[in-house]
Amino acid sequence: MGTFCSVIKFENLQELKRLCHWGPIIALGVIAICSTMAMIDSVLWYWPLHTTGGSVNFIMLINWTVMILYNYFNAMFVGPGFVPLGWKPEISQDTMYLQYCKVCQAYKAPRSHHCRKCNRCVMKMDHHCPWINNCCGYQNHASFTLFLLLAPLGCIHAAFIFVMTMYTQLYHRLSFGWNTVKIDMSAARRDPLPIVPFGLAAFATTLFALGLALGTTIAVGMLFIQMKIILRNKTSIESWIEEKAKDRIQYYQLDEVFVFPYDMGSRWRNFKQVFTWSGVPEGDGLEWPVREGCHQYSLTIEQLKQKADKRVRSVRYKVIEDYSGACCPLNKGIKTFFTSPCTEEPRIQLQKGEFILATRGLRYWLYGDKILDDSFIEGVLV
């Protein structure tokens, strides 16, 4: 109940502006189309009032929709939780282990990172998601992950209804005229038989909804990798920090081993750090339980080492081809176009002969800085 209240009691009405963004508009549009068409088609295919199976099917469909929307709005409006402005550790000496955020005028708490889109330091930041127009972090990590689980399951159910509806409608037709006809939609023994309109427009809409459902199942289902990092008590950013730590140790051939400090040693204990019966994650978002041999600032110390290492090593790449900075460049090949990262980080316009400093990368894209007169322009590079 407390979690539900947190959804409807926004910090201020400005939170409603999060809906005025292409991400939520598309996401809610897909949910609305798939849910509405699935409910209509379930009436055509499996009449819910005359059979137990039909009633269960319809109730499950409504249940999927409610749970998906609940977790979606929870992730959007509850938000990740932000480091208080002007925050600093209780022990002043601990500031030497932390980075200072000039925008928030505060030290970055362990596991927190500054989001340029939210313009705040986010507690246990995982990433900024354009589909909820908010960050995924400490407070909404569970809701976001449940949304990623429930959305594909609901879409699979809806897709099954769409397929069965089109099959039964076309199978029982005597001809392929698209006028309203009398059909026994569920093949149940009902009297009288219902007269249900299923014309060309209804068929096309159902086919369109089927495409949306299948596309959502694949696209959102691939993001469920979130569960993998939750079972390790990590975030996407921390996974990258750990990878760079191992690379730094190997590069300099150091006699040390990086141990991720927040892994509790078992998947169940890591799972409980995010998912709780109360819906409120453990801790306060500023201090975290750590494994034996580590302390609160083990990860932040590693971040400071990597920051210094980036400045020392200065691994530069020379641009060999112009890039306009387009979000999805068509002139760079089909693979590059379809593997464009789903992020609102700015793409950097590049010209042949310029230099970049890549901080991390995908197969066809790099995240990094453009080197220009000893300054950096951060963004995404193709």
Which phi and psi (to 5°) does residue 213 adopt?
Answer: -65, -45
Predicted structure pTM score:
0.81
Give the percent of the chain with pLDDT over 90: 44
In the structure encoding, which two tokens stand for residue 54, read together? Answer: 């039909």
Q: Exactly one of 101, 129, 136, 155 is catalytic; which is it?
A: 129
The Cα–Cα gap between 209 and 158 comes to 9
Asked if 375 contacts 354 with a C-beta cutoff of 8 angstroms, the reply is no
Reported as a single tens digit per residue, the pLDDT across 308-332 is 776 555 457 888 888 888 877 878 7
Crossing angle between the packed helical segments 141-171 and 200-222, to the nearest 10 degrees: 150
Is residue 327 annotated as a catalytic residue, yes or no? no
Reported as a single tens digit per residue, the pLDDT across 348-364 is 888 888 888 776 666 67
Reported as a single tens digit per residue, the pLDDT across 114-157 is 998 899 999 999 999 999 999 999 999 999 999 999 999 999 99
Using the predicted structure, report yes or no on whether residue 175 has a pLDDT greater than 70: no
The Cα–Cα gap between 260 and 316 comes to 28
- Write down the domain spans for the chain: 13-81+138-176+194-231, 92-122+237-310, 314-370
